[in-house]
Amino acid sequence: MNRRYRADLPAWIFVGGLSCFPWLIVWGNAPASHSMCGAGTAVVVSAFSFAWLFAFRIVLTPGEVRFRSLFRGEKSIRHDQIRRVRLIWILQGRARGPLRLVIEPRDRSGARELDINAKVFSRAAIDAVLELGARVADADDGGLRDGVVMRTLREWKQRHKT
């Protein structure tokens, strides 16, 4: 049975809110400007934002994991090729989100690493991929299942216990 996961509702709300800023500028300048350039820009920004979110998809099948995004297309890895699934927080890549779900292959020559932008997916989607990793190989959530903020608060609380 295939399980499909798309971007989660909070991601849609956040990106939808950000894509409304150009519309606020267009409406604010409407009495002074009679140009359609601002409205065209707002349409393009909004359309791009929602297309970017709509493209995100994780599909778990009985034999493989598939991930799709707007810029990197669709990539997959078979279950028997998975060595490890990790949930990591990394701030090195400027073009990538910091919360990553990385599926490492057993053999580097055959399959490529599957790097999933985890911040747009629900906890259920992340848990499903980590559970699959634990079932077919090794899985490490890095203590990030509850998110970075909760992990930081837990560590701070443990350091300041009296």
CATH number at residue 150: 2.30.29
The pLDDT value given to residue 155: 77
**Same domain? 153 vs 85:** yes
**Same domain? 124 vs 150:** yes
| CB neighbourhood size of 145 (10 A) | 13
Q: Are 44 and 52 in contact (CB under 8 A)?
A: no
Rounded to whole angstroms, the Cα distance separating 97 from 91 reads: 8
Radius of gyration in angstroms for the set of CA atoms belonging to the chain, rounded to a whole number:
20
The pLDDT value given to residue 75: 92
**Same domain? 48 vs 66:** no
Domain that holds residue 29: 3-53
For the sheet with 64-69, list strands across it: 3-6, 57-60, 64-69, 73-78
Total number of domains in the chain: 2
Q: Residue 30: pLDDT above 80?
A: no
The pLDDT value given to residue 68: 93
The pLDDT value given to residue 109: 63
**Same domain? 149 vs 84:** yes
- pTM exceeds 0.85 for this model: no
Kindly report, residue by residue over 72-82, the tens digit of the pLDDT.
889 999 999 99
Kindly report, residue by residue over 142-161, the tens digit of the pLDDT.
777 766 666 677 777 888 87
Which ranges in 7-89 belong to alpha helices (H)?
9-19, 21-29, 37-55
Q: Are 122 and 8 in contact (CB under 8 A)?
A: yes
Kindly report, residue by residue over 61-98, the tens digit of the pLDDT.
999 999 999 888 899 999 999 999 999 887 776 666 77
Kindly report, residue by residue over 104-129, the tens digit of the pLDDT.
998 876 668 888 988 889 989 999 99
**Same domain? 12 vs 90:** no
* Helix, coil or strand: residue 39: helix
**Same domain? 66 vs 49:** no
